[in-house]
Amino acid sequence: MYSIGIDTGSVATKGVLFNGNIVKEIVIPTGWSPKNASKEVYNRLIEESKIKEDEVKKVIGTGYGRVSMDFADKTVTEITCHGRGAHYLNGDIRTIIDIGGQDSKVISLDDDGNVCDFFMNDKCAAGTGRFLQVMSNLLGSDITELDTMAKGAKPETISSMCTVFAESEIVSTLAKGTKKESVAAGIVESVANKATTMLSKVSIIDEIAFTGGVAKSKEIKRLIEDKINKKIYTAPNTQIIGALGAAVIGWSKIKK
């Protein structure tokens, strides 16, 4: 028996096949159709794992595109799923900072991994993956190269976190001859500052997990740790936590 969790976000769609353990995980671009992306992930999890469809007893959908998953048995908010996913990987986690493609959130958990408080920013792209992508493009680099560019450089102050205003600010800064490395360090620093401010919105208790695509940045993680003077846990694949949580929820329903 298996459960499948699918998290369809604005940038990527993630899926996890679960049987009490993670059997397989998949991450693909969401593209123009959340429905098509989520169905592709569902099909690939089954086909690539060489299992039969009737062995999958529960499919749980989450993320902003969950409303399009007409094949799911149930849909659950990404806040709940991130809590369950992080708690499954590390039972000491009580606080989560999640930064995805176009929103960010801070979540507080109880001892059982249930959400007891949260703060979410979904009104603008400040400090999200979208913000980093736009800024990377201005530097003529890929978002995956920001860490390398920023490491060891003196950060240039980026005063605005609004994507539109920050874009204009960086263009002006580069025109003045400021090194790209310093601008990259400033961008990374600004995202870490935004994340630290969000963390201050909830009570930090015990372990903290950093999830979402932006959590792949070792520099952003290091800067947040320095600012809060506390180590942060990251999973081997920071993008799948919501899908994992959905799969764990599905599995618990199977076991009942």
Here the contacts of 52-57 (C-beta below 8 Å, separation 24 or greater) are: 55/1, 55/2, 56/2, 56/3, 56/4, 56/17, 57/1, 57/2, 57/3, 57/250, 57/254
Indicate whether 26 belongs to any domain: yes
Indicate whether 67 belongs to any domain: yes
Write the burial class of residue 248 (CB in 10 Å: 0-12 exposed, 13-18 middle, 19+ buried).
buried
Specify the number of domains making up the chain: 1
Residue type for position 255: K
**Each residue's pLDDT tens digit, 52-72:** 999 999 999 999 999 999 999
Residue 207 has what pLDDT?
93
Residue 102's pLDDT band (boundaries 50, 70, 90)?
A: confident
Strand partners, 38: none
Question: Rounded CA gap, 124 and 9, in Å?
Answer: 15
Question: Rounded CA gap, 110 and 17, in Å?
Answer: 26
Indicate whether 50 belongs to any domain: yes
How many CB atoms sit inside 10 A of residue 92's CB?
A: 11
Indicate whether 105 belongs to any domain: yes
Residue 203's pLDDT band (boundaries 50, 70, 90)?
A: confident
Residue 124 has what pLDDT?
76
Residue 162 has what pLDDT?
86
Is the CA virtual torsion 146, 237, 247, 88 positive or negative?
A: negative
Query: Minimal CA–CA distance to 118: which of 129, 110, 130, 126?
Result: 110
Q: Quote the tokens at residue 171.
A: 């263009």
Indicate whether 24 belongs to any domain: yes
205 or 201, which is more confident: 201
Q: What percent of the chain has pLDDT over 90?
A: 86
121 or 153, which is more confident: 153
For residue 180, the SS3 value is helix
Q: What percent of the chain has pLDDT over 70?
A: 99
pLDDT average, residue stretch 193-212 = 90
Residue 201's pLDDT band (boundaries 50, 70, 90)?
A: confident
Residue 14 belongs to domain with CATH number: 3.30.420.40
Q: Is the pLDDT of residue 205 over 80?
A: no
Domain that holds residue 208: 2-123+195-255
Q: Is the pLDDT of residue 206 over 90?
A: no
Query: Minimal CA–CA distance to 41: which of 217, 242, 228?
Result: 242
pLDDT average, residue stretch 193-208 = 89
Indicate whether 131 belongs to any domain: no
Indicate whether 205 belongs to any domain: yes
Question: Rounded CA gap, 63 and 72, in Å?
Answer: 13
Q: Are 55 and 2 in contact (CB under 8 A)?
A: yes
Q: Is the pLDDT of residue 126 over 90?
A: no
Indicate whether 175 belongs to any domain: no
Residue 139's pLDDT band (boundaries 50, 70, 90)?
A: very high
Q: Are 130 and 11 in contact (CB under 8 A)?
A: yes
Residue 159's pLDDT band (boundaries 50, 70, 90)?
A: confident
